[in-house]
Amino acid sequence: METLIGIRGPDFVMLAADNTHAHSIMVLKDDENKIYKISDTLMMATIGEAGDRVQFTEYISKNILLYKMRNGYELGPKSASHFTRRNLADYLRSRTPYHVNVLVGGYDEADGAQLHYIDYLANSLPVKYAAHGYGGLFVSSILDRYHHQKITQDEAYEIMKKGVTEIQKRLIINLPNFNVSVIDKNGIRELPVISADSLKEEAAAA
């Protein structure tokens, strides 16, 4: 019942995630942040079972920090995604698998902006754009239609708003608010929350 959206541009990665924490038919929280800052050059958006999501993301982030302390440098986005995929694959073959879907975004001086798609079966793939969850069923066609090689951050944010509008229109599950974060050579920044109210105000103004 959750949704992640990711877009990679020439020199940035933008991630969006809904704020809803639900259990069965009940909404427990509407301000849950599912985008985690792993380091100055790396962020991860995770959805899945609430306990699995928090525990797995903390496990990955703390181990990446430990790697930096031991070696004196940070893992790049590609290495971090491989580390995440390997751990997810190992736990999948244990008695305590993690049921999570992940988008890993980061910026590396050598390789530039990178976005990696990882699902709960430990499939991993570098992508230009991606979406997880039920909302992804409605967003994928929008990402395919509007994404292009020279996309700017403003254009990516507008695509995010188009996707959220479609989710709120088509999906029976209520996902009113989406956090948005972007990472580039200047680090990680949080962008304005995309909410149902803000989208209605824009539509009325137009």
| Mean confidence (pLDDT) of the chain | 92
| C-alpha span between 133 and 116 (Å, rounded) | 16
pLDDT above 80: residue 206: no
Confidence of residue 1 (pLDDT cuts 50, 70, 90): confident
- The percentage of the chain sitting over the pLDDT mark of 90, rounded to a whole number, equals 75
Counting every residue, how long is the chain? Answer: 206
What tens digit of pLDDT does each residue of 95-126 get? 999 999 999 999 988 889 999 999 999 999 99
At 24 the pLDDT is: 78
| C-alpha span between 45 and 101 (Å, rounded) | 8
Output the pTM of the full model.
Answer: 0.92
| C-alpha span between 106 and 1 (Å, rounded) | 26
**167-179 average pLDDT score:** 89
What tens digit of pLDDT does each residue of 21-78 get? 888 788 888 888 999 999 888 999 999 988 899 999 999 999 999 999 999 888 889 9
Cα angle at 53 between 52 and 58, to 5 degrees? Answer: 100
Confidence of residue 157 (pLDDT cuts 50, 70, 90): very high
Long-range contacts of residues 201-204, Cβ cutoff 8 Å, at least 24 apart: 202/161
Confidence of residue 199 (pLDDT cuts 50, 70, 90): confident
The set of residues, in sequence order, having a beta carbon less than 8 Å from that of 1 and lying 6+ positions away, is 20, 22, 133, 134, 173, 175
Angle formed by the axes of helices 153-170 and 136-146, nearest 10°: 150
pLDDT above 80: residue 138: yes
Confidence of residue 197 (pLDDT cuts 50, 70, 90): confident
